[in-house]
Amino acid sequence: MDDNELNTSANPSFDSVLGARLSRRSLLRGGVGTAATAVLGSWSVAACGGGNDDDTPAPAPLATLGFAAVAKSTADVLTVPAGYSASVLFALGDPLDAATAAFRNDGSDTDFERRVGDHHDGMFFFGLSANGTRDDNAGERGLLALNHEALTDNFLHAAGSSARPRPAAESDKEIPAHGIAVVEIAKSSGAFAYRAGSAFNRRITPLTAIELAGPARGNALMKTRYSPAGTGCRGTINNCGSGRTPWGTYLSGEENWSGYFFRGAADDAARADKSVASLNRYGRAQGAASRHGWETSGAEDRFARWDISKTGASADGSDDYRNEMNTFGWVVELDPYDNSATVKKRSALGRFAHESADFGRLVAGQPLAVYMGDDSRGEYIYKFVSAANWDAADAKAANRIAAGDKYLDAGKLYVAKFDADGSGQWIELTIANAAIAGYAGYAFADQADVLVNARLAADAVGATKMDRPEWCAVHPGTGEIYYTLTNNSNRRLQPSGSGQQALDAANPRAYLDPEATTGTASNLNGHIIRIKESGGAGAATAFRWDVYLFGSQANGDPALVNLSGLTADQDFSSPDGLWFSRNTGLCWIQTDDGAYTDATNCMMLAGVPGSVGDGAKTTLSYPLSGGGSVTVDTYVGRKPSADALRRFLVGPKDCEITGVTETPDGKALFVNIQHPGETIAAADVADPGKYLSHWPGNTGYGAGGATARPRSATVVITKNDGGRIGS
């Protein structure tokens, strides 16, 4: 989804200095093709699943691709390979209880706290036995937990969104259309369908009571009028990537939450304290308009809380919402199997624009590692290492939230620094670090302050500014960690302003679109970096890295842009969702793109990755228009063969593909289609001829038919012969 430009800290350009250097060296064109041949071996499924103790990484993937590549397309349809079928399970507005009316999809619907929300995003499947208990092997019945990141707000209202001050009735639809949903699905007559009346169905919204857990619970920074003790908060918002814990709960990452808040044009002076530096670093300058203007809908608390100006007389913020934004930006944990279980925000994992959270290899008696990214231009890659050592018995814990308390409330938070020689370091973010304790940009009070302001702490230690870290996922065979870096319009050959980043070894590209004749070079198409922990241990503080794939058009310059040698069956731009099948070992890559959309809608690809070091060091040398060049060394993974990367799916118009999960047998794959046709002006809502998409109404799903308002939706994909997906 939309990116922000927040990291204007001056510090860590030393990465760039190390990695990229101005020179007059000539272009090197020979380095890419020297990739080592990967050693292929068998990869045991038993060696990868949650809860096992295997610590001997197998080097090679199990699967090869067994489908014909789908061609790029700009049609308003969802395309899957020959021999596969896709159908909509549920979409925006579908009722989640028997008392709620069917969705009319004409802007008149209300009660979104009892309906499927908007902008489906990260998602995981949780199996249910026939009698409705947790069953990790169940393939006929289960729960899908999924995020509802944002809104196509104009389509929620009959005539589009109204101007500010926003009518309360409109805000009361928009607010609960965000959050998280738990939806029961089951096979009926051989095909999956959702159960509208299931007692498991649940919505978590920006109004749901949530507990703060971990070191920031009760901290001075968390006190609000809603929770003067700083122990609770109200709701979750802009939930993007997600995760599944080894003990069977769902993790949801709060991403672009800061934009929903407003603070007055004189708030800096009213505060006159260090909170101003924190607010600015996290994207809330005084006077900037909020995303939807909910704070303008009335004096009621559910609206007033979006104005975070300091208005109260208290010293601690317990009489206003000056600290409200500190209660967002966390990983949220919920138990999909238990509607009564407390939902918690896990503050030990740090506060930033979260995407997914994935666990490293589980080793009994060793700490757990949780990998995470911060999606804004120039932000960082993080990992959390638990204080508690893994006990495999906890995979079946009866009290799953208590297991979360055990592993996710105490530990160490690290940020990544990528070095030019292909190595890297995890730097602990601790108040005991002199660079943090003495940081000139912000006076940290305690460890909770370090976690609440993780971005500032990462600035202080000189972490590497990345090209928008989106999802991460751990390869079940090798244990290596893959991160999508979706793109970065601020990555520059020659930075000229604050907030721009120079090339470095791990973010080595800046270029123009092949069809462009003018413009500023940047990382248009993104890449996927991967990390091999030293000794394979989650608690390691050193790693090796290379780039699994560089996004590119197939006609991109092979020496500077299309470094992975992508063909027309493989080319993609802006990787975002990323997930490994525990069944096939396939790496699923989803896109949220605006750079290649002249040729194709967003897509999903399947890959068979090798491992870190299977390619070669490569020198890139970009000629400058004024003479000279910018040269940077990077590490390019083995180029994918036609059998090792193929496009599997192309979505309808103006959508993003995000969120992917499967049944344990690998025979049903669930994918989210987010915001088809999201580009619509309020004035054009009355004219279906102006809609960019009518999906999925144009497939016969729901009301509206060929002129329907488009809807975000969850689809199920099966192979017509009943086999495993992708292989």
Inter-residue contact 574 to 592 (CB < 8 Å): yes
Inter-residue contact 176 to 294 (CB < 8 Å): no
**Residues 282-297 as b or e (16 or more Cβ within 10 Å = b):** bbbebeeebbbbbbbb
C-alpha neighbours within 13 Å on the C-beta side of residue 544: 15
Shortest approach of ligand FEO to residue 256 CB, angstroms? Answer: 7
Nearer to ligand FEO, 127 or 243 (CB): 243
Q: Which of residues 566-595 bind ligand FEO (CB under 6 A)?
A: 576
> Which of ligand FEO, Ca ion, none interacts with 149 (beta carbon under 5 to 8 A by kind)?
ligand FEO
Task: Report the alpha-carbon distance of residue 488 to residue 523 in Å, rounded.
Answer: 5
Task: Report the alpha-carbon distance of residue 288 to residue 161 in Å, rounded.
Answer: 19
Candidate segments 269-277, 366-374, 442-450, 509-517, binder of Ca ion by CB under 5 A? 509-517
Binding residue for ligand FEO (CB under 6 A) from 355, 374, 379, 678?
355
Closest CA to 206 of 228, 238, 231: 238
Binding residue for Ca ion (CB under 5 A) from 5, 54, 513, 684?
513
Candidate segments 328-336, 416-424, 506-514, 686-694, binder of Ca ion by CB under 5 A? 506-514
Shortest approach of ligand FEO to residue 43 CB, angstroms? Answer: 30
Q: Which of residues 421-480 bind Ca ion (CB under 5 A)?
A: 470
Nearer to Ca ion, 335 or 678 (CB): 678
Nearer to ligand FEO, 255 or 267 (CB): 255
Q: How many helices (H) and strands (E) does the chain have?
A: 9, 33
Binding letters toward ligand FEO, positions 236-275, x by CB under 6 A: ----x--------------x--------------------
Distance of CA 527 to the CA centre of its chain: 15
> Which of ligand FEO, Ca ion, none interacts with 113 (beta carbon under 5 to 8 A by kind)?
none
Taking every pair of C-alpha atoms in the chain, what is the biggest distance, in angstroms? 72
Inter-residue contact 125 to 114 (CB < 8 Å): no
Candidate segments 6-14, 234-242, 246-254, 690-698, binder of Ca ion by CB under 5 A? 234-242
Long-range contacts of 391-399 (CB under 8 A, 24+ apart): 391/364, 392/51, 392/52, 392/53, 392/362, 392/364, 394/246, 394/247, 395/50, 395/51, 395/246, 395/247, 395/248, 396/51, 396/247, 397/247, 397/248
> Which of ligand FEO, Ca ion, none interacts with 593 (beta carbon under 5 to 8 A by kind)?
none
> Which of ligand FEO, Ca ion, none interacts with 513 (beta carbon under 5 to 8 A by kind)?
Ca ion
First to last CA, the chain: 30
Shortest approach of Ca ion to residue 411 CB, angstroms? Answer: 25
**149 near ligand FEO, rule: CB under 6 A:** yes
Surface-to-core class of residue 562, CB atoms within 10 Å of its CB (0-12 exposed, 13-18 middle, 19+ buried):
buried
**678 near ligand FEO, rule: CB under 6 A:** no
Shortest approach of Ca ion to residue 599 CB, angstroms? Answer: 6
Task: Report the alpha-carbon distance of residue 337 to residue 398 in Å, rounded.
Answer: 11
Shortest approach of Ca ion to residue 555 CB, angstroms? Answer: 8
Binding letters toward ligand FEO, positions 510-549, x by CB under 6 A: ----------------------------------------
Nearer to ligand FEO, 533 or 576 (CB): 576
Give the contacts of 721 (CB within 8 A, at least 6 positions apart): 83
Shortest approach of Ca ion to residue 542 CB, angstroms? Answer: 28
Surface-to-core class of residue 604, CB atoms within 10 Å of its CB (0-12 exposed, 13-18 middle, 19+ buried):
buried
* Structure token digits, residue 101: 């009316």
Give the contacts of 135 (CB within 8 A, at least 6 positions apart): 127, 128, 129
**633 near Ca ion, rule: CB under 5 A:** no
Binding residue for Ca ion (CB under 5 A) from 515, 518, 626, 721?
515
Shortest approach of ligand FEO to residue 405 CB, angstroms? Answer: 27
Residue the block writes with tokens 């020198």: 619
Q: Which of residues 470-489 bind Ca ion (CB under 5 A)?
A: 470
Q: Which of residues 368-387 bind ligand FEO (CB under 6 A)?
A: 375
Binding letters toward ligand FEO, positions 310-339, x by CB under 6 A: ------------------------------
Q: Which of residues 563-582 bind Ca ion (CB under 5 A)?
A: 576
* Structure token digits, residue 542: 């050193």
Per-residue HEC secondary structure of 11-45 comes to CCHHHHHHHEEEECCCCCCCHHHHCCCCCCCCCCH
Binding letters toward Ca ion, positions 525-564, x by CB under 5 A: ----------------------------------------
**Which residues sit at the interface with ligand FEO, rule CB under 6 A?**
1, 149, 240, 255, 355, 375, 470, 576
**Which residues sit at the interface with Ca ion, rule CB under 5 A?**
240, 470, 513, 515, 576
